[in-house]
């Protein structure tokens, strides 16, 4: 402001006409109001219908003393259309930041159309907000020149041309080649195709082999050695019960220990294995429900009893041989 007062005194003392001095003071006052300024330029003053012109917009301000709000630019204005909006580039020089954007404009009607001025709001940190506006431009959109001195020419009628099969010779040749290739490929793949050989059938695993394999797998996990005693007996009894269900056709998975042992006492084939089953199931119940801690010897004995029970309970197949009748 001191510079502004001294500038007014210099103008008053100088011999510059009052009108010029007033204009200079008005310009300086506008500069003192804010630091934002906007400008625009176009790369063409005239285009053909459907062609494109580029509008370049640049706005400058000091972000440390003001905030800038970008102008609202519609998609259409004055019969002109914005077909592309470039990204807003930022360039900083000292405290001043320049924002630049490119717009591509076109028109589909002939005439002189105005590209309007776009206003950018500048809001100072302290003081009155103001706007920085770009210049407006006139854009001439022209159509293709028509020579009106020449007479109009009428539309010609359709001329029919007589066709022959020779006009389609290449289509015929191409179709024949494709058909021949399809036949050859079909014959080749039919002859090449072989009947797949049936997969070799491996030996069928018996019920006892399956149960003993599962017990061996459980033993290899070493659950009770890892202090997972409950899990050890859960898997052990599940294997034994599943074997009983399939071997003796008894719903062993749903029965309690007492019910299953009672069933074993009344089943002729299971009765010889009652003691082994009693030891396995009761030891498992202590570990699972009574939270007792069987001894390591009992863990090993339960596994051995289970293997022995499965190995010795194979069904006995009786083969009857014909006897000779005596006369």
CATH of the domain at 114: 2.60.40.10
Counted domains in the chain: 3
Where is the domain boundary, 142, 158, 190?
142
Judgement on whether residues 50 and 129 belong to the same structural domain of the protein: yes
From 255, 252, 242, select the one nearest 211 (Cα to Cα). Answer: 242
Judgement on whether residues 100 and 17 belong to the same structural domain of the protein: no
Judgement on whether residues 303 and 218 belong to the same structural domain of the protein: yes
SS3 21: helix
120-159 per-residue burial string, b: 16 or more CB within 10 A, e: under 16: bebebeeeeebebbbeebebebeeeeeeeeeeeeeeeeee
Judgement on whether residues 18 and 104 belong to the same structural domain of the protein: no
Q: Residue 245 is part of which domain span? A: 207-312
In a domain, 58, yes or no: yes
pTM of the model: 0.38
Least confident range from 68-82, 215-229, 283-297, 311-325: namely 311-325
Where is the domain boundary, 96, 122, 142?
142
Judgement on whether residues 307 and 211 belong to the same structural domain of the protein: yes
Judgement on whether residues 68 and 8 belong to the same structural domain of the protein: no
In a domain, 252, yes or no: yes
Judgement on whether residues 90 and 115 belong to the same structural domain of the protein: yes
pLDDT tens for 100-146 read 999 999 999 999 999 999 999 999 998 899 999 999 999 999 987 77
In a domain, 230, yes or no: yes
In a domain, 88, yes or no: yes
In a domain, 177, yes or no: no
Regarding beta strands 37-42 and 52-61, do their DSSP bridges make them parallel or antiparallel, or are they unpaired? antiparallel
Where is the domain boundary, 122, 142, 162?
142
In a domain, 195, yes or no: no
pLDDT tens for 231-261 read 998 999 999 999 998 988 888 888 898 888 8
In a domain, 183, yes or no: no
């Amino acid at each position: 402001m001191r510079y502004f007062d001294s500038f007014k005194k210099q103008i008053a003392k100088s011999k510059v006409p009052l009108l010029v001095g007033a204009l200079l003071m008005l310009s300086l006052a506008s500069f003192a109001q804010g630091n934002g300024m906007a400008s625009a330029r176009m790369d063409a003053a005239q285009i053909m219908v459907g062609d494109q012109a580029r509008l370049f917009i640049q706005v400058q301000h000091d972000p440390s003393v003001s905030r800038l709000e970008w102008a609202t630019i519609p998609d259409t204005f004055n019969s002109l259309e914005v077909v592309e909006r470039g990204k807003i580039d930022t360039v900083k020089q000292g405290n001043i930041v320049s924002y630049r954007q490119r717009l591509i404009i076109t028109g589909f009607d002939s005439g002189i159309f105005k590209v309007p001025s776009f206003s950018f709001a500048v809001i100072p940190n302290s003081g009155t907000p103001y706007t920085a506006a770009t210049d407006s431009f006139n854009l001439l959109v022209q159509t293709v020149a028509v020579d009106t001195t020449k007479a109009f020419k009428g539309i010609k009628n359709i001329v029919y041309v007589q066709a022959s099969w020779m006009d389609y010779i290449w289509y015929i040749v191409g179709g024949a080649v494709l058909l021949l290739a399809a036949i050859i490929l079909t014959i080749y793949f039919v002859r090449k195709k072989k009947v797949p050989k049936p997969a070799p059938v491996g030996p069928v695993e018996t019920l006892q082999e399956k149960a003993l394999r599962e017990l061996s797998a459980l033993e290899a996990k070493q659950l009770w050695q890892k202090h997972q005693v409950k899990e050890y007996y859960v898997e052990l009894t599940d294997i034994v019960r599943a074997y009983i269900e399939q071997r003796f056709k008894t719903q062993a998975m749903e029965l309690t220990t007492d019910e299953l042992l009672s069933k074993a006492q009344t089943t002729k084939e299971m009765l010889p294995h009652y003691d082994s089953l009693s030891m396995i199931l009761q030891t498992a119940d202590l570990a699972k429900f009574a939270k007792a801690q069987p001894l390591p010897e009992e863990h090993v004995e339960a596994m051995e009893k289970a293997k022995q029970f499965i190995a010795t309970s194979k069904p006995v197949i009786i083969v009857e041989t014909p006897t000779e009748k005596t006369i």
